[in-house]
Amino acid sequence: MDSYTEGDVLYENALSSLGDIAGWVMEGDGVVSFPRGKMRQESVRPREAGQAGNIVHWCPITFQTIASDAFYGEWKCDPAPLRARRIYRPAER
């Protein structure tokens, strides 16, 4: 397995309010809320919908890295919700 070293921060977002996701695109039937200042995403379809209830929330930024398939992501995860913290450019070796 490759090892990575933190490089430059490419993106950082607190994901704590509606303004933090301006321009993001929700794919699927989902809603976003911010209880206690933390982003929560959920499908509006019933659990029985299975994969038809999946959602994806696309960040509007294309990240350019040294190698197109290499980046280091860091998140702070509470039991609910997931909160993105930083995405780094890999340090040059």
Task: Count up the domains in the chain and report the number.
Answer: 1
Helix (H, G, I), strand (E, B) or coil at 37: helix
* Structural domain includes residue 23: yes
Gyration radius of the chain over CA positions: 15
Residue 63 confidence (pLDDT)? 72
* Structural domain includes residue 1: no
Using 70 as the pLDDT threshold, list the residues of the chain that sit under it: 1-5, 64-71, 77-93
User: 82: closest CA among 16, 12, 24, 20?
Assistant: 16
* Structural domain includes residue 31: yes
Q: Which domain holds residue 33?
A: 9-88
Residue 69 confidence (pLDDT)? 64
The C-alpha atoms of residue 10 and residue 30 are separated, in whole angstroms, by 27
* Structural domain includes residue 4: no
Asked if 41 and 30 touch (Cβ cutoff 8 Å), the reply is: yes
* Structural domain includes residue 75: yes
Residue 42 confidence (pLDDT)? 92
Residue 67 confidence (pLDDT)? 57
* Structural domain includes residue 22: yes
* Structural domain includes residue 2: no
* Structural domain includes residue 49: yes
Q: Is the dihedral of CA 77, 81, 82, 83 positive or negative?
A: negative
